[in-house]
Structure 1
Amino acid sequence: MDPIETTIPSFDGTKLYFVKNLVDNARAAVVIVHGLCEHAGRYDYLTENLNARGFNVYRFDHRGHARSEGPRTFYSNFHQIIDDVNVMVDQALQESTNIPVFVIGHSMG
């Protein structure tokens, strides 16, 4: 299935670039949280491999990174990162009611 690209408003209205790669009859869902100065596209290879093994994948660009809104790589409060991740995990949970949801974080993620 083709990736679904959109934006999702975070807790404070900042629009975060969001992409999901869904498969038929998913076994589980995975939220990928990238590191500082990275972007969701860096995880295309991992996404392909997870999809091939039956996992839906949810990815986003942190605020101030790549295609998301916000000052470039600036956080006025570290909790902004956590709150943004919570928005993405909540989205995955809402769409994955009958399957487990896992989070993969790299570096700052």
Structure 2
Amino acid sequence: MRHASRPVLDGTRGAVAVHEWPHPAPRFLALLAHGYGEHAGRYGALAAVLTGQGAAVYAPDHLGHGGSAGERVLIEDFEDLVTDLHAVADLARAAHPGLPLVLFGHSMGGLVAARYAQRYGSEPAALVLSAPVIGAWALPGRLLALPEIPDTPVSPAALSRDPAVGASYAADPLVWHGPMKRPTLEAFARALETVAAGGAVGALPVLWLHGDADRLVPMAGSRPGVERLGGRLTERIFPGARHEVFQELERARAVAELTGFLEAVLPR
């Protein structure tokens, strides 16, 4: 499967690298929003699942991440990421007009995708949220209360019980392995409030997947945000799973839940 990655868009604050996993005759478009500190290149396995279902897959590296412009992991306003994601959707639709659009957001990308669904409610055909940062996420407030942000990177072991996943993450030069930055934490806090006040997404089909042993984005904190977002919700919780259910020991079940959901909600 061909995978192209190149800076193709002028984003809100600089060049945005867009990963594309094409399909010769797609029946839908999939737009992926990755998590904090990582990059869309980590989603090749998920993209393969989606192209296998007939998707043309597009995924930007967010501002300050991966191959995109900006100071590393510095985000001053999450609305910029939503705007950039919408520009990628426009790119996809120009290449494949008339196809339904599925949004997929993991962790921080879940916050971006949820806000996209609020801002552009008539556009998505479905929304998939994996361990989304919405609802009551305590980390920003806890860190912002400190006089200095501790130099504590994301623990690779928190991602999955599969040690190969953590080892790959730790060795990836495009992953940020340093501390969070105060402006980014402040932007997280504002964006959480914005999504909380942004209203429900109507009858949009929503799939929520979460591991109940997720220490990075605890399931109990995400639940009120997911329920407030509304939509026609399908909830799938994975006992014992950590932050990345599509890279966990139960990845086959997570894939089956995703593909079953998409077959149910997308037109044939």
Q: TM-score, normalised by structure 2?
A: 0.39
- RMSD over aligned CA atoms reads 1.4
Q: Retained in 1: the 8 A contact 2:20–2:57?
A: yes
Counterparts of 2:60 and 2:78 in 1: how far apart (Å)? 17
Counterparts of 2:12 and 2:92 in 1: how far apart (Å)? 16
Q: Unaligned stretches of 5+ in structure 1? A: none
- Map 1:24-35 onto structure 2 (within 5 A): 24-35=24-35
CA deviation vs aligned residue, 1:65-104 (integer Å, no higher than 9, x gap): 1111101111122221211111112212222213111111
SS of the residue 1:67 aligns to: coil
Q: Retained in 1: the 8 A contact 2:18–2:58?
A: yes
Q: Which residue matches 2:231?
A: none
Q: Which residue matches 2:106?
A: 106
Q: Retained in 2: the 8 A contact 1:92–1:101?
A: no
Q: Which residue matches 1:18?
A: 18
Does residue 45 (structure 1) correspond to residue 49 (structure 2)? The answer is: no
- Larger-gyration structure (1/2): 2
C-alpha displacement of 1:24? 1.4
Counterparts of 2:49 and 2:104 in 1: how far apart (Å)? 14
C-alpha displacement of 1:10? 0.9
**Runs of 4+, deviation exceeding 3 Å:** none
**RCO (CA 8 Å, sep 6+): is it higher in 1 or 2?**
1
Going from structure 1 to structure 2, the CA distance change for 1:83 and 1:98 (only over 3 Å counts) comes to closer
CA deviation vs aligned residue, 1:51-71 (integer Å, no higher than 9, x gap): 112111001110101111101
SS of the residue 1:19 aligns to: strand
Q: TM-score, normalised by structure 1?
A: 0.90
Q: Retained in 2: the 8 A contact 1:29–1:92?
A: yes
Letter aligned with residue 59 of structure 1:
A
Q: Which residue matches 2:79?
A: 79
Counterparts of 1:42 and 1:79 in 2: how far apart (Å)? 23
Q: Retained in 2: the 8 A contact 1:37–1:73?
A: yes
Counterparts of 1:65 and 1:6 in 2: how far apart (Å)? 13
